[in-house]
Amino acid sequence: MLAWLGVLMVELLHGEVREMVFEVSAEDKVRFLLLDIDAIAMLLKKRKLLFFIDAMDKSNIQVYVTVNELKKIQSCILSDEPRLPLINLLQLCKVPEDSIAELGILFRRFKESDCTPWILCLRLLKEYLTLIWVFLIRVRIENIWLPSGDRQTDD
């Protein structure tokens, strides 16, 4: 059962903004109704996108997406599983969930600091690339000689 409608904004790095409607379920999952998303991808060719999902409950995700990733998302949307959980969308970015959450908060801070959109994009891109480096390379190398402790607590 759908809880409410939100607005999906696809903002290009050069500042052009397109708005489209999507539906969000009560389980905080997103169902994209944007079947013309392929048309957008074709329009943008190989340009990288800054993806904003702005919801009415103030949830906000920022993801850098290439056109190839965009097509993956689209295939998820058009496949048997029409609902694409937000976290699945984020994991396309190869960064752990908690880091994405931290990036989201960082983005809010940058926005509140009144820096220009160009600076904001650069800083987020830098942080994103740093996280990619940290989790895909550095942490994996360090884990070779670190003990295999995973000490999550459930309290």
**What does the binding site for other proteins look like in residue numbers (CB under 8 A)?**
28, 53, 55, 57-62, 86-87, 90, 97-106, 108, 127, 130-131, 133-135, 138-139, 142-143, 146-155
Q: CB-wise, 9 or 134, nearer to other proteins?
A: 134
**Is there a contact between 70 and 32 (Cβ–Cβ < 8 Å)?**
no
Q: CB-wise, 49 or 53, nearer to other proteins?
A: 53
* Burial classification of residue 104, based on how many CB atoms lie within 10 Å of its CB (0-12 exposed, 13-18 middle, 19 or more buried): middle
Residues belonging to the chain? 155
Tokens 């600091």 sit at which residue?
113
Least Cβ distance, residue 39 to other proteins (angstroms) = 25
28: left (phi over 0), alpha (psi -120 to 50) or beta: left
Least Cβ distance, residue 46 to other proteins (angstroms) = 26
Q: CB-wise, 62 or 74, nearer to other proteins?
A: 62
Q: CB-wise, 77 or 124, nearer to other proteins?
A: 124
